Amino acid sequence: MATVENFTAWVHDFARTIAEHSEQLTDLDRAIGDGDHGSNMTRGTARCAQLTDEQTFTGPGDYLKKVGMTLVSTVGGASGPLYGTFFLRMATSLTEVDDVGPEQLGTALEAGVEGILTRGRAERGDATMYDALAPALESYRQAVADGADLAGALAAAAKAAAEGRDATTDMVARKGRASYLGDRSRGHLDPGAASATLLLESAARTLA
Amino acid sequence: MATVENFTAWVHDFARTIAEHSEQLTDLDRAIGDGDHGSNMTRGTARCAQLTDEQTFTGPGDYLKKVGMTLVSTVGGASGPLYGTFFLRMATSLTEVDDVGPEQLGTALEAGVEGILTRGRAERGDATMYDALAPALESYRQAVADGADLAGALAAAAKAAAEGRDATTDMVARKGRASYLGDRSRGHLDPGAASATLLLESAARTLA
Amino acid sequence: MKKLINDPGDVVAEALVGMAAAHPDRLRIDHEQRIVYRADAPRQGKVGLVSGGGSGHEPLHGGFVGPGMLDAACAGEVFTSPVPDQMMAATRAVDGGAGVLHLVKNYTGDVMNFEMAAELAAAEAGTEVASVVIDDDVAVQDSLYTAGRRGVGLTVLLEKIVGAAAEEGRSLQDCADLARALVADGRSMGMALTSCTVPSAGRPTFDLAEDEIELGVGIHGEPGRERRPLAPAREVAAMLVEPVLADLDGAGDDGVIVLLNGMGGTPLIELYLMYGEVARLLDGAGVRVARSLVGNYITSLEMAGCSVTLLRADEERVRLWDAPVNTPGLRWGA
Amino acid sequence: MKKLINDPGDVVAEALVGMAAAHPDRLRIDHEQRIVYRADAPRQGKVGLVSGGGSGHEPLHGGFVGPGMLDAACAGEVFTSPVPDQMMAATRAVDGGAGVLHLVKNYTGDVMNFEMAAELAAAEAGTEVASVVIDDDVAVQDSLYTAGRRGVGLTVLLEKIVGAAAEEGRSLQDCADLARALVADGRSMGMALTSCTVPSAGRPTFDLAEDEIELGVGIHGEPGRERRPLAPAREVAAMLVEPVLADLDGAGDDGVIVLLNGMGGTPLIELYLMYGEVARLLDGAGVRVARSLVGNYITSLEMAGCSVTLLRADEERVRLWDAPVNTPGLRWGA
Ligand SMILES: Nc1ncnc2c1ncn2[C@@H]1O[C@H](COP(=O)(O)OP(=O)(O)O)[C@@H](O)[C@H]1O
Ligand SMILES: Nc1ncnc2c1ncn2[C@@H]1O[C@H](COP(=O)(O)OP(=O)(O)O)[C@@H](O)[C@H]1O
Ligand SMILES: [Mg+2]
Ligand SMILES: [Mg+2]
Ligand SMILES: [Mg+2]
Ligand SMILES: [Mg+2]
């Protein structure tokens, strides 16, 4: 069961991991975008990591809402509204819940991923963060159906995210800046799929 | 005795030589100036080389006056007025003279060099074209005094010009753009001294 | 990376400090929120014009704030859309009772952030908000399979013309309709000789060989339509003008308004030379130039290159173009 | 060499073609002689202002031709002084009976060519000519042992202020006196992050390592006072402001007019950032800024870098600065 402490650990771990991979994310974005994904995400997640110093949170929903709002207000670009919406929708799904079990987390993740879809209107194969998040969600669901606990389901999700991320290399981007490249985007890994994989890897380390 | 044919040959030879050394003159100017001496001189001398296609000249004075005016009107920069004045003053000194002997050429060269001095107010050692022209004139005068003919005197002048040119390497520039460099101009050969040496080498090939 | 900056993370904030110092009478800058306001905003009864986007395109947008043009511009990080908080704050601050028009360049980030701002502003009672998305870049072909055409040079012309309409007291609906008509009638194409370097990245966004150009480049150093061998200005002009003309539905009744825009690192002598080539091509195509603008107006940091924008002109557009404007980046008649 | 040009030898002529196309109503260009005239020259009873110099510094000088500023500008080859024929033709053409003032930047070539033009013009009956040499660059120290201080940023401020005085109908003597007083009261200092490339040379004029700047550079890519390690903007600002202040005889009654000028390849975002640093330093030194101008006004092709110019301000100078001007490069109040 994941509590608010787990969720704060998640966001802190995510912020740390993003900072470590900032240059790498920016390099991916330089190749097919505008070279700012690393700094965008670092700016936003660093700000999120300060939230617990400034206030206390009554539960996961309360905390994730603040995280979502903070991302919306600090990241900018395409990833700001997308990650922001992800956390805001998770938060809504977890309102008034204190201990989050595998089923509930699945519903919350699904709400988050749906939020990204609504905001960005991406489809599978468009080479976006959705191509890491969608298979992650499916694997998570499958693992839970197969009886996995939180740890097992999140590990499966992280693994699927990484595979989905790697698969973006062979895709032609159809959303976001990379889409302007047309065929020339093939052969490049999508930066948002890379950061989304870091998000799920952080979850696997902290939520269970 | 140098006739108007010799003088036109001189200017044509000078134009050809300048064109061949254009890049080299520009490189010298890039190092301590603004990288245009080669193209300035090429533009002006190429125009001068067309004069004989367009009109006939009654004598050396008439021809050199037109060369001087053409240089003034086409070169620009520091070298335009300087070389222009050089030829204009030579022209005045040779008014109404058809066959130019060693003495008369000496007087004309002196008038030309004086013109450069009046216009540019340079002194010996300032690292300008004057540092090639002044020793050239002295050697010319000395050679004539020693009984040399035109060919001998011009050969001596060309040799002295080249030595004077090379000596500019050790000087600190005090005139023109190179002077802004102060001590940093030392170690560089002055582009105007280089083109002035070409002028005397052309003279040695054509005027005798 | 060679830039006149301090910490790469402080570039936008510090540039706004300098901008405030340079234009104390004309602009009011909210440094906290990074919003550039015209000094006398809000203007009662006038539609408020709000634009914004990533920084690095100066003078766009902050340099186009002032009488006859924008009321507020939200500055994002370099090449990164600003956030909804900024747009909401700007919207509130410039609302003079006649509503607020958002002018949005078509980039996923900008569109989504402005969309969130409009949703949030709608939730707040009071301010009527309309939004127009600018997408004039013909380099982006298949817009079905992409994020759609980018908003580039037309933004400058549109902010000027709609700015004049708002200054005349036209309604929000009128201003939005005019803006949409301009979007339908304006097309652009750009190219780069060199990449730019995002300060926080520290390295050029793309590598271009000494003998290559990037054709169809955007304003963020996004790679363009294709790489071509370096060519003389007259051929480059044709590479830009032809696709624009091909996509434009003929000239307007009064010909076209032309913007020959520099990307930031190309000097004016080259831009004038390029404009000579563009004018010659338009003349050859029988397209009359009603008005023209040559210079660095929507840039991509220090990128060398240029873009051509054509906008179909009619009497009203030319009149609004000629109307007084008083901003740091564009000024006449005032 | 990556430039938007055709043949390197045609750059100046073709840029003038583009300039004529871009400003058909405001400028009249003599392409044969390479002279940019204000469309309505000569103005009867007004002192004619003629300037000129090598090209590559755009908008200077041609971009400053128009009501309230210059009557004519002679364009030389890139970085090469124009020739006396141009100056004489321009002098004749703008003479409205009140005489003609030559504004000359202090470079050996410019001074000698303008001198020859004045000699030749004096020989022709009729036109009264006065000449003022601008030498504001404090980077050139020992002016006894050099060609003297170069004319740089002050030229822009001077052309504007003296232009306004001439427009007011002041006499040739008055205009020349004012110009000389401004020369006595203005100082500049520049720096470069990168070199520029003269089109006909095809290669950068100087090489600068990734971590070096050239301090005290001129506007022709002439090497400067010294090389320094690359430094943050706030330190670079101090390297420019301090020597200028040290050489200026205090601020004027009304403080100073400041020009923070870009060398051509530095984007506006960096220039604003630098201006913020300059304004802070001036504030710290107790120097009041009466007026400021930030942008690319006297450039060095695509060189990256900037310069700072300070001019002692008084009531009259500020009034003349504020007077209407309508040129391609500087425009307000008209
Ligand atoms: N419409 C979209 N739907 C989902 N994800 C998107 C969409 N557009 C862009 N992205 C994601 O956003 C990432 C880029 O984010 P970032 O670089 O921070 O913003 P920007 O593209 O505005 O510079 C892309 O790698 C991609 O994964
Ligand atoms: N005052 C002067 N007296 C004599 N020669 C000079 C003077 N100033 C410059 N020169 C000569 O002119 C040369 C530079 O000519 P050029 O490059 O064509 O003109 P600019 O310096 O205007 O670019 C210098 O190398 C020097 O020999
Ligand atoms: Mg990006
Ligand atoms: Mg030179
Ligand atoms: Mg971005
Ligand atoms: Mg020169």
| CATH number for A136 | 1.25.40.340
Q: Which amino acid is at B109?
A: L
pLDDT at D50 over 90: yes
pLDDT at B35 over 70: yes
List, in sequence order, every residue forming a beta bridge with C243; answer none if it has no partner: none
Distance B75 CA to ligand 6 centre (A): 10
Distance CA C113, CA C90 (A): 13
Count of the separate structural domains present in chain B: 1
Using an 8 Å CB-CB cutoff, list chain D residues near B35: 79, 198, 201, 205, 221
How buried is residue B55: exposed, middle or buried, by Cβ count under 10 Å (0-12/13-18/19+)?
Answer: exposed
DSSP 8-state code for residue D299: -
pLDDT at C224 over 90: no
* C173 close to ligand 1 (CB < 6 Angstrom): no
Inter-chain residue contact D147 with B82, CB threshold 8 Å: no
pLDDT at C143 over 70: no
Among B74, A69, A22, residue whose Cα is nearest residue D83: B74
Domain boundaries, chain D: 11-185, 187-325
Q: Which residues contact A31 (CB under 8 A, 6 or more apart)?
A: A188
D220 is a catalytic site residue: yes
D328 close to D19: Cβ distance less than 8 angstroms: yes
CB contacts under 8 A, C 166-205 vs A, are 198, 200-201, 203, 205
Inter-chain residue contact D58 with C267, CB threshold 8 Å: yes
Phi, psi (rounded to 5 degrees) for C70: -85, 155
pLDDT-derived band at C248 (thresholds 50, 70, 90) equals very high
Inter-chain residue contact D223 with B184, CB threshold 8 Å: yes
Inter-chain residue contact D80 with B30, CB threshold 8 Å: no
Side-chain-side CA neighbours of residue B148 (13 Å): 20
Of D84, D116, D220, the CB nearest to B34: D220
SS3 letters across chain C: CCCCCCCHHHHHHHHHHHHHHHCCCCEEEECCCCEEEECCCCCCCCCEEEEEEEECCCCCCHHHECCCCECEEEEEEECCCCCHHHHHHHHHHHCCCCCEEEEEECCHHHHHHHHHHHHHHHHCCCCCEEEEEECCECCCCCHHHCCCCCCCCHHHHHHHHHHHHHHCCCCHHHHHHHHHHHHHCEEEEEEECCCCECCCCCCECCCCCCCEEEECCCCCCCCCCEEEECCCHHHHHHHHHHHHHHHCCCCECCEEEEEEEECCCCCHHHHHHHHHHHHHHHHHCCCCEEEEEEECCCCECECCEEEEEEEECCHHHHHHHHCCEECCCCEECC
What pLDDT was estimated at residue C123? 77
pLDDT-derived band at C216 (thresholds 50, 70, 90) equals very high
Which domain does B20 fall in, by range?
Answer: 4-206
Distance C15 CA to ligand 4 centre (A): 36
User: How confident is the model over D117-146, as a mean pLDDT?
Assistant: 85
Strand, coil or helix: what is A135?
Answer: helix
Computed over every residue of chain D, the mean pLDDT equals 95
User: How confident is the model over C93-118, as a mean pLDDT?
Assistant: 95
Distance D82 CA to ligand 6 centre (A): 10
pLDDT-derived band at C147 (thresholds 50, 70, 90) equals confident
Which CATH entry fits the domain spanning D187-325: 3.40.50.2020, 3.30.1180.20, 3.40.50.1820, 1.20.950.20?
Answer: 3.30.1180.20
What pLDDT was estimated at residue C140? 86
D76 Cβ under 8 Å from any chain B Cβ: yes
pLDDT at A120 over 90: yes
Of D83, D140, D206, the CB nearest to B72: D83
pTM for the full predicted model:
0.94
Catalytic residue among D23, D57, D61, D102: D57
Ligand 1 nearest atom to the CA of residue A196, by list position: 27
User: How confident is the model over C270-286, as a mean pLDDT?
Assistant: 98
Inter-chain residue contact C222 with A80, CB threshold 8 Å: no
User: How confident is the model over C279-295, as a mean pLDDT?
Assistant: 98
What pLDDT was estimated at residue B183? 86
User: How confident is the model over C255-265, as a mean pLDDT?
Assistant: 98
Distance CA B119, CA B126 (A): 14
What pLDDT was estimated at residue B47? 98
Distance CA C175, CA B117 (A): 69
Distance CA D10, CA C326 (A): 36
Distance CA C177, CA A206 (A): 52
User: How confident is the model over A91-113, as a mean pLDDT?
Assistant: 96
Using an 8 Å CB-CB cutoff, list chain D residues near C55: 269
A29 close to A36: Cβ distance less than 8 angstroms: yes
Query: Measured between alpha carbons, how far apart are the two ends of chain B, in Å?
Result: 7
- Tell me the pLDDT tens digit for each residue of B87-96: 999 999 999 9
Computed over every residue of chain B, the mean pLDDT equals 96
**Minimum CA distance residue for ligand 1 atom 18:** A37
**So what's the architecture of D11-185 in CATH?**
3-Layer(aba) Sandwich (3.40)
Question: Could you tell me the sign of the dihedral formed by the alpha carbons of C225, C228, C231, C234, in that order?
Answer: negative
Among B140, B119, C16, A176, residue whose Cα is nearest residue D294: C16
What pLDDT was estimated at residue D143? 65
Distance CA B116, CA D243 (A): 35
| Cα A187 to Cα A203, C222, D64, D66, distances in angstroms | 28, 16, 51, 55
Looking at chain B, the whole-number percentage of residues with pLDDT higher than 90 is: 91
Q: Which two tokens stand for residue C100?
A: 């607020």
Distance CA B205, CA D122 (A): 40
The residue among D93 and C122 whose pLDDT is bigger is D93
pLDDT at D144 over 80: no
* A122 close to ligand 1 (CB < 6 Angstrom): yes
Of B26, B34, B119, the CB nearest to D221: B34
Using an 8 Å CB-CB cutoff, list chain A residues near C139: 180
Cβ neighbours, 10 Å, residue C241: 23
User: How confident is the model over D240-250, as a mean pLDDT?
Assistant: 96
ipTM above 0.90, yes or no: yes
Question: Could you tell me the sign of the dihedral formed by the alpha carbons of C232, C233, C236, C238, in that order?
Answer: negative
Catalytic residues of C: 57, 220
User: How confident is the model over C18-36, as a mean pLDDT?
Assistant: 97
DSSP 8-state code for residue A18: H
